């Protein structure tokens, strides 16, 4: 149906819609008129060499002339267009893999080929947010069996870049969700690479939390490295701690996760496929996964965590990963800092074996590092923790950490934010509950992670006897306004920390 | 969290996104910066008196200044804003009913209260397309039981305007999907109102078909009437045939249907709730529902149609409707015309009892009118069809139809489009298949329903012996370009009509 009349001139509009491809055309544009396009219509936009699918928004103002066409930033980037470039517009042939999504909606079991076609179309940007949401919802609520989760995981691995390290054993770790301050990754990498294992760690930035590992590491060093630079660092140091966004590992995952966040759901199947596909694509062979369980953690019951454990270990085997899941206490934040620089301070204290290093952060890191050492087969069963402890206490882990940071481009000391407010107990009592979600929200309102040095420094732990007037936590902010924002939230929520 | 810094000045952008509320802010706008909004974020936008929820798109160009805010047409209309008006922006408190949607995703049964909260939020525009899609998908694939479909139907009835006619019996009819040219509604209304029943008929425009009943009726008369004018017409004539869009009956339905169309799915539960809620809200008491079954009709198997029949009649009873479902032949188009004016011509021939009136259209209309007469209890069981036939043959139905059109504002004669192309058989044979979907597509490409007189005039029926060179159908178009469009499609699809 394509013909000469379907040619329009590109105009840059600068509209950021996150990942969604949106195309803008004037209501009186000849293409709109002759093709009968209307809003919510999906159409194909092509340059001479490339094409994408986009959702139509119709312009009735002078943002566009009738012979012009606009694209959302995501769409323009994918097509790599320049102003005034000629674009071709055509009706969208039906996207074949959507028939698999419909089959899944109608409770049918899909095979590998179906998942592969779906994931391929998602990565190519052929799915609208509506299509992505239908796929996620149809797969949620335990509607995928173990076979299907395996197929999905394999399809996601195949959809992006895959790293290869030419090592027999490549270790990795992952923590499933939601415990503020639980920044064990830099410590685990430092310990196991100092021991001699290979651990090329790609981490995420915060999406809804006050800090991701990449945000915290950025206080110390550069984390946005090219794939070539990452290889160089890992070759030299045996490990790295970088932001995973440049590596294009399991790219479908990033698109699906944004929809899941918008819906505030976690489908078990998607979660497993997400975690394992990233690890497998990153070239890992042995992976320890930490699942903190607690009232206000992502995983609220031990039973659910155990089920997830079984499924992850089983599917890991199917996709060629040696997976060990450990279930840990998720009842309160880990360490004292919540926010990039505050967490970085905790990390340095642990690495330097300082007397006031947060014990819980140290212990969790040794536990995970020990499990990794044992899983790798390089130490005897039952000796992992002790070996990790020796590496940490010897100062080798600290030295290795500094080396990795320098190899990534710099080593910088964390600094605290200028504005602060000390929150003290209004009555005496025993500390009963620390609400992980509310304390994280407070850290975010203070500016973290955009403001690197903003966040919360927590002075107390569950079960402690608290005196009236005792310091509970300090809020740090880089501006007066952000400090007030956080204080306003604090004043309206008296159950962030509960004494009885 | 609302404060003085969250004030922005409205600028009209003229971006039509169909129903979705989208808000546009500059990336350097102080609200974006201080609130940490990012794309896909949902936020609340308020005037002094009203507020809506919208999805954020971030502008990096000069479309907006940093202190300006734009809205999609749908959002601007709901807020009723004027250029330079002050708008207040705030973080969105969690939408409570989305927790019910999540529960449904996780396979839980919802109660009436939950469905009512969901539908209320949908009507208020609080759901993004992502939220709507999750709700639709979670309810599809037989995941709602009869109780739940009843709750959803009742919630949808309650969500909008409800008409009352002060009549003991108010009849209505509905046809479920997808048979080109099946324009029985104007005939049924003419017959049963001529008999003396009350039938205030609201119909839809085409969404994906070459004509809806409202499009066809618009050839004859005005169909966009105010609720007051509709009452006046019905009071005077006992019936009307108008576009339902102004009546605000079951408004959630319109939003849900657009997502279902985008996904190309028909959830049984949503379908039942959609049809019955519109009928109940329109004040109907007795409803006949026609389900055509055929290979290329919406309903492809008699078994599925029978299940739908059982469920519709049962749920009808629960919501106070007397529902009778009849299953009819959906193997080919009905009548000869496909497209507004061409269907209007068929209707006039039937009403005027002309010798060349399409028999199938006449018979279907008499069947449905007869069922309605019997369902109303105004004629004895088994005498409905004969009674309807007498009313039609007496000329009373024709007279009534003209009266109704005039009461709605005018009566105009249909005219044929100027451009046409006759499609003839290339070989002799027996007519085996007419593809409903492809012939509808051909009519759309010729310009229907926007071009009222465009479409297809079908000269043949299934089972007929066709000679080589015999006229199969004529394509009508209002412009040479549209005619060529349709011909190009025809030339690439040799199975629109199949002879053996």
C-alpha span between A112 and A126 (Å, rounded): 19
pLDDT tens, B15-67?
Answer: 998 888 999 999 888 777 666 666 667 889 999 899 999 999 999 999 999 99
B339: which chain A residues are within 8 Å (Cβ-Cβ)?
none
What is the C-alpha to C-alpha distance for residues A198 and A238, in angstroms, rounded to an integer?
A: 5
pLDDT score at B39: 61
Angle between helices A251-263 and A268-281 (to 10 degrees): 150
> What's the pLDDT tens digit per position in A395-416?
999 999 999 999 999 999 999 9
Question: With an 8 Å Cβ cutoff, are A137 and B141 in contact?
Answer: no
Name the residue with tokens 């739940």: B148
- What does the block give as tokens for A429? 């009592």
Burial class (CB within 10 angstroms; exposed 0-12, middle 13-18, buried 19+) of B4:
exposed
Burial class of residue B245 in the structure, from the number of CB atoms within 10 Å of its CB (0-12 exposed, 13-18 middle, 19+ buried): middle
CB nearest B265 (choices: A17, A62, A105): A105
Interface test with B, best of A92, A133, A261 (most B CBs within 10 A): A133
* Res A453 pLDDT > 80: yes
Are B14 and A485 a contacting pair at CB < 8 A? Answer: no
How is B254-267 classified by DSSP, letter by letter? HHHHHHHHHHT---
Q: Which chain B residues are Cβ-neighbours of A58 within 8 angstroms?
A: 15-16
Residue with tokens 């809020």: A475
Task: Tell me which chain B residue has its CA closest to the CA of residue A266.
Answer: B102
Of A17, A40, A142, the CB nearest to B57: A17
For residue A193, the distance in angstroms to the closest alpha carbon of chain B comes to 36
Mean pLDDT for all residues in chain A? 92
- Quick one: pLDDT at residue B36? 64
Rounded Cα distance, A181 and B417, in Å: 72
Phi then psi dihedrals of residue B302, to 5 deg: -65, -35
Instruction: Check B15 against A102: CB less than 8 A apart.
Output: no
pLDDT tens track, chain B, 500 positions: 444 458 899 999 999 988 889 999 998 887 776 666 666 678 899 998 999 999 999 999 999 999 999 999 999 999 999 999 999 988 777 789 999 999 999 999 999 999 999 999 999 888 999 999 999 999 998 899 999 999 999 999 999 888 899 999 999 999 997 688 899 999 999 999 999 999 999 988 887 788 999 999 999 999 999 989 999 999 999 999 999 877 778 888 888 988 888 888 888 899 999 999 999 999 999 999 999 999 888 888 999 999 999 999 999 999 999 999 999 999 888 999 999 999 999 999 999 999 999 999 999 999 999 999 999 999 999 999 999 999 999 999 999 999 999 999 999 999 999 999 999 999 999 999 999 889 998 998 898 998 999 999 999 999 999 999 999 999 999 988 889 888 988 998 888 999 99
| DSSP conformation class of A376 | T
Which of B1, B36, B63 has its CB closest to that of A450? B36
CB A158 within 8 A of CB A122: no
Q: Do A34 and B482 touch (CB under 8 A)?
A: yes
Which residues in chain B touch residue A42, judged by CB atoms under 8 angstroms apart? 262
Beta carbons of B138 and A141 less than 8 Å apart: yes
> B98 to chain A: nearest residue by CA?
A263
Chain A residues with beta carbon closer than 8 angstroms to that of B24:
15
Buried b (16+ CB within 10 A) or exposed e, A180-212: bbbbbbbbbbbbbbbbebbbbbbbbbbeebbbb
DSSP 8-state assignment for residue B412 = -
Asked if A21 contacts A125 with a C-beta cutoff of 8 angstroms, the reply is yes
Cα separation of A456 and A434, whole Å?
13
Query: What per-residue confidence (pLDDT) applies to A271?
Result: 92
Chain A positions in Cβ-Cβ contact with residue B134 (cut-off 8 Å): 133, 136-137, 263, 265
Contact B60 A34 (CB under 8 A): no
Å between A230 CA and nearest CA of chain B: 29
**Interface contact A142-B107, CB threshold 8 A:** yes
What's the pLDDT at B103? 96
Report the chain B residue with the minimal C-alpha distance to residue A486.
B1
Q: Determine the pLDDT at residue B207.
A: 73
Residues in chain A within 8 Å Cβ distance of B58: 15-16
For residue B221 the two structure tokens come to 């008369």
- Set A67, A73, A147, A266: catalytic member: A266
Per-residue model confidence (pLDDT) at position B468: 96
Q: What digits encode the pLDDT tens for the residues A80-122?
A: 999 999 999 887 777 899 999 999 999 999 999 999 999 999 9
The CA-atom distances, in angstroms, between B36 and each of B2, B4, B32 are 14, 16, 6
- Residue B148, phi-psi category: left (phi > 0), alpha (psi -120 to 50), beta (remainder): alpha
The rounded distance, in Å, linking the Cα atoms of A184 and A359 is: 12
CA B157 to centroid of chain Cα atoms: 16
Residues making up chain B, counted from first to last: 500
Least Cα distance to A417 among A378, A465, A389, A455 occurs for A455
CA B165: distance to chain centroid? 23
Which residues in chain A are contacts of B130 at CB distance < 8 A?
129-130, 133, 259, 262-263
Q: Are B375 and B313 in contact (CB under 8 A)?
A: no
User: Å from A56 to nearest chain B CA?
Assistant: 8
Name every chain B residue with its beta carbon within 8 A of the beta carbon of A142.
106-107
pLDDT exceeds 90 at position A275:
yes
Compare all CA atoms of chain B with the CA of A35 and give the residue at the minimum distance.
B445
- Give the integer Cα–Cα distance in Å for A255 and A252: 5
Give the tens place of pLDDT for each residue, A159-192.
988 889 999 999 999 999 768 889 999 999 999 9
Rg for chain A, CA atoms, rounded? 25
Across the A:B interface, residue pairs with CB atoms under 8 Å apart total: 148
Nearest to B59 among A15, A62, A489 (CB): A15
Chain A environment of B13 (Cβ under 8 Å): 61, 63
* pLDDT, tens digit (0-9, with 9 covering 90-100), for A21-45: 999 999 888 777 666 666 667 889 9
Which residue from A minimizes the CA distance to B482? A34
Task: Measure the CA angle with vertex B289, ends B142 and B210; round to 5°.
Answer: 90
Mean pLDDT of A458-469: 95
**Closest partner CB to B141 (pick from A39, A105, A130):** A105
Cβ-Cβ contacts under 8 Å, A16 against chain B = 27, 39, 57-60
How far apart (Å, rounded) are the C-alpha atoms in residues A386 and B155?
62
CB atoms B13 and A63 under 8 Å: yes
CB distance B368 to B326 below 8 Å: yes
Q: Mapping DSSP to helix (H, G, I), strand (E, B) and coil, where does residue B291 land? A: strand
Considering CB atoms only, which of B5, B34, B481 is closest to A34? B481
How much is the CA Rg of chain B, to the nearest whole Å? 25
Torsion angles phi and psi, residue A97, rounded to 5: -70, -15
Contact B358, B350 (CB under 8 A): yes
Cβ <8 Å between B15 and A63:
yes
Q: Which of B26, B29, B39 to mutate to test the interface with A (most CBs of A within 10 A)?
A: B39
HSE-CB at A306 with a 13 A cutoff on CA atoms is 3
Contact A82, B33 (CB under 8 A): no
- Token pair 């040095």 is at which residue? A453
The whole-angstrom separation of Cα A425 and Cα A470 is: 5
Interface test with A, best of B27, B105, B207 (most A CBs within 10 A): B105
Under a CB-based contact definition with an 8 Å cutoff, are residues B148 and B75 in contact?
A: no
Give me the residues paired with residue B183 across strands: none
Does A244 score more than 90 pLDDT?
Answer: no
**With b meaning 16 or more CB within 10 Å and e meaning fewer, what string describes B92-122?**
eeebebbebbbebbeeeebeeebbbbbbebb
Pick the catalytic residue: B73, B266, B329, B360?
B266
CB A297 within 8 A of CB A437: no
- A229: how many CB neighbours lie within 10 A of its CB? 17
Give how far A495 is from chain B: nearest CA, Å: 18
Residue B160 to residue B250: CA distance in whole angstroms = 5
Structural domains of chain B, ranges and CATH numbers in brackets: 4-91 (2.40.40.20), 98-158 (1.20.970.10), 171-247+282-407 (3.40.1030.10), 419-499 (3.90.1170.30)
A-chain residues near B259 (CB < 8 A) = 130
Q: How far is CA A217 from CA A221, A292, A454, in A?
A: 6, 22, 15
d(CA B177, CA B290): 9
Which of the four pLDDT bands, split at 50, 70 and 90, describes residue A480? confident
End-to-end CA separation in angstroms for chain B: 72
Cα of A133 to nearest chain B Cα, Å: 6
pLDDT in the model for residue A2: 42
The SS3 call for residue A68 is strand
The answer to whether the Cβ–Cβ distance between B262 and A40 falls below 8 Å is: yes
Q: For the CA atoms of B365, B367, B368, B369, what is the dihedral angle to 10 degrees?
A: 80
Q: Is B24 helix (H, G, I), strand (E, B) or coil?
A: strand
- Cβ contact (<8 Å) for B40 and A27? no
Burial of A133 (0-12, 13-18, 19+ CB in 10 A): buried
Answer for the pair B104, B135: CB distance below 8 angstroms, yes or no.
yes
Q: Mutate which of A130, A135, A304, A444 to disrupt the B interface (most B C-beta within 10 Å)? A: A130
Which residues, other chains included, contact B193 with Cβ-Cβ below 8 Å and sequence gap of 6+?
A: B199, B237, B238, B239, B400, B404
Q: Determine, for residues B14 and A481 on separate chains, whether the beta-carbon distance falls below 8 Å.
A: no
* Interface ipTM: 0.85
C-alpha–C-alpha distance, residues B195 and B389, integer Å: 11
What's the full length of chain A, in residues? Answer: 500
The reply to whether A329 belongs to the active site is no
Written as one string, the DSSP assignment of A162-224 is: ----S-S-BEEEEE-S--TT---HHHHHHHHHHHT-BEEEEEPPPSSSS--HHHHHHHHS---
The encoded tokens of residue A71 equal 């694209």
Best residue in A10, A26, A29, A36 for a mutation probing chain B (most B CBs within 10 Å): A36
Task: Tell me which residue of A408, A387, A413, A410 sits closest to A237, measured CA to CA.
Answer: A408
Decide if A14 and B63 are in contact by the 8 Å CB cutoff. Answer: yes
A28 contacts B8 by C-beta, under 8 angstroms: no
| A136 contacts in chain B (CB < 8 Å) | 134
Give the span between the Cα atoms of B412 and B414, in whole angstroms: 6
- Say yes or no for a CB contact (<8 Å) between A60 and B14: yes
Task: Point out which residues pair with A23 in neighbouring strands.
Answer: A56, A71
């Amino acid at each position: 149906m394509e013909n000469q009349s379907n040619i329009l001139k590109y105009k840059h509009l600068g509209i950021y819609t996150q990942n969604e491809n949106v195309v803008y055309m004037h209501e009186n544009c000849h293409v709109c008129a002759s093709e009968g396009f209307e809003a919510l219509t999906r159409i194909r936009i092509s340059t001479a060499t490339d094409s994408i699918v986009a959702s139509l928004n119709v312009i009735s103002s002078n943002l566009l002339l009738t012979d012009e066409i606009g694209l959302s930033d995501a769409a323009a980037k994918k097509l790599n267009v320049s102003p005034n470039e000629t674009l071709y517009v055509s009706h969208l042939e039906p996207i074949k893999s959507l028939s698999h999504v419909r089959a899944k909606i109608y409770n049918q079991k899909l095979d590998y080929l179906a998942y592969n076609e779906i994931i391929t179309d998602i990565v190519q940007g052929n799915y609208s947010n509506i299509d992505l949401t239908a796929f996620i919802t149809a797969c949620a609520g335990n509607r995928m069996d173990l076979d299907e989760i395996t197929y999905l995981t394999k399809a996601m691995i195949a959809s992006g870049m895959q790293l290869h390290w030419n090592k027999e054993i490549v270790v990795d770790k992952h923590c499933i969700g939601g415990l503020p301050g639980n920044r064990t990754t830099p410590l685990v990498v430092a310990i196991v690479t100092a021991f001699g294992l290979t651990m090329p760690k790609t981490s995420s930035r915060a999406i809804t939390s006050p800090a991701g590992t990449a945000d915290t590491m950025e206080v110390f060093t550069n984390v946005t490295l090219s794939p070539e630079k990452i290889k160089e660092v890992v070759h030299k140091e045996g490990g790295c701690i970088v932001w995973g966004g440049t590596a294009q590992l399991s790219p479908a995952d990033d698109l699906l996760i944004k929809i899941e966040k918008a819906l505030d759901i976690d489908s078990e199947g998607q979660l497993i496929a997400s975690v394992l596909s990233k690890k497998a694509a990153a070239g890992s062979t042995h992976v320890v996964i930490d699942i903190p369980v607690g009232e206000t953690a992502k995983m609220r019951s031990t039973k659910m965590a155990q089920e997830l454990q079984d499924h992850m270990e089983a599917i890991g085997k199917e996709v060629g990963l040696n997976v060990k899941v450990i279930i840990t206490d998720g009842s309160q934040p880990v360490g004292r800092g919540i926010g990039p620089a505050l967490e970085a301070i905790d990390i340095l204290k642990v690495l330097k074996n300082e007397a006031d290093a947060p014990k819980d952060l140290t212990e969790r890191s040794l536990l995970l590092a020990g499990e990794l050492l044992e899983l790798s087969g390089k130490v005897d069963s039952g000796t992992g923790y002790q070996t990790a402890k020796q590496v940490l206490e010897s100062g080798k882990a600290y030295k290795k950490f500094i080396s990795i940071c320098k190899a990534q481009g710099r080593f910088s000391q964390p600094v605290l934010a200028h504005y602060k407010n000390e929150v003290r107990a209004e009555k005496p009592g025993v500390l009963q509950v620390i609400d992980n979600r509310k304390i994280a929200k407070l850290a975010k309102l203070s500016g973290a992670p955009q403001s690197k040095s903003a966040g919360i420094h927590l002075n107390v732990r569950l079960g402690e006897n608290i005196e009236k007037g005792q310091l509970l936590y300090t809020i740090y902010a880089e501006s007066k306004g952000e400090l007030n924002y956080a204080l306003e939230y604090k004043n309206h929520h008296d159950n962030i920390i509960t004494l009885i």
